[in-house]
Amino acid sequence: MTPAACLGIVDWGIGGIGLVRELDRRVPGLPVLYWSDAGATPYGRMRSADLTARLHAVVCELACRGATEVVLACNAASTVAAHLSRTPVPVEGIIGHGLASVPDHVRGPVGIVAGRRTIASGCYRRGLARPGREVLSRVAQPLSAHIEAGRTGSPRFVADLRRIVAPLQRAHAVVLACTHYPAVSDWFADALPDATLIDPVQRLAAAIAARHPVAEAGPVAPRDYVTSGDTEAMRRGAALAWNVDVHATACSLRTKIH
């Protein structure tokens, strides 16, 4: 880690805070600048070209604020990561880490729970395909909205989760392919007692830590949060989902979106 290193993290909402918590454990000395883009159209609903342009502008904004690299802690955003060219700092998505988290020896059915864009992209289905391996995909769109709104554990949330995972009961492993979902891993585990749950954030955090070994020790570096959405909603959602106290600053893009 260079003295000026600063990791930018992008998510539409609070899902990426799970990555921050893991970095707190692995590399507390690495400064983090977190961008929640909740003021924009949800990434899963944007056209690919619009999402790419939006993310390019966000990366430029984070670079202007001091980020030396940016990770997309959002699977929907990561579906267009390959199209982010000419960014001022390196950009890394999470999907590759999700794929690498499933061992090749897992031959039984592998389940994927994710948002609509992630499933529709086919990234996980293609990347996890092996001879004799069945890949089961489930769109779990309402769950991230429940988590953002603080409805975790509500009867409606539990009913939606159980309905979504019901076809995955045969799965030997299930990838939580949305960074919000590890916040409710206990409910997933209860609904899928025979499956191994896989959180791609673990491998992503390990890769970041490997790049910044100097940050493993020493005082905790700043964790700065900015959001294009509602700061109080972010604070409340982060507390309920992740049990962390987040003080976010309202922000807007200074880079024009083309």
Question: Is the pLDDT confidence value at 255 over 80?
Answer: no
- Banded pLDDT at 253 (limits 50, 70, 90): confident
The pair of three-digit structure tokens given for residue 116, joined into one six-digit string: 């609509």
Domains by residue range for the chain, with CATH: 7-93+202-250 (3.40.50.1860), 96-200 (3.40.50.1860)
- Banded pLDDT at 2 (limits 50, 70, 90): low
pTM: 0.95
Question: Using CA atoms in the order 21, 27, 33, 35, what is the torsion angle rounded to 10 degrees?
Answer: -40
Residue burial 135-155, b: 16+ Cβ < 10 Å; e: rest: bbbbbbbbbbebbbebbbeee
Identify the pLDDT of residue 59: 98
Across residues 38-64, what is the average pLDDT? 97
Contact assessment for residue 6 and residue 33, using Cβ atoms and an 8 Å cutoff? yes
Q: Which residues participate in catalysis according to the annotation?
A: 74, 178
- Banded pLDDT at 218 (limits 50, 70, 90): confident
Across residues 230-234, what is the average pLDDT? 98
Phi/psi at 17 (5° precision): -65, -25
pLDDT tens for residues 114-135?
999 999 999 999 999 999 999 9
- Banded pLDDT at 3 (limits 50, 70, 90): low
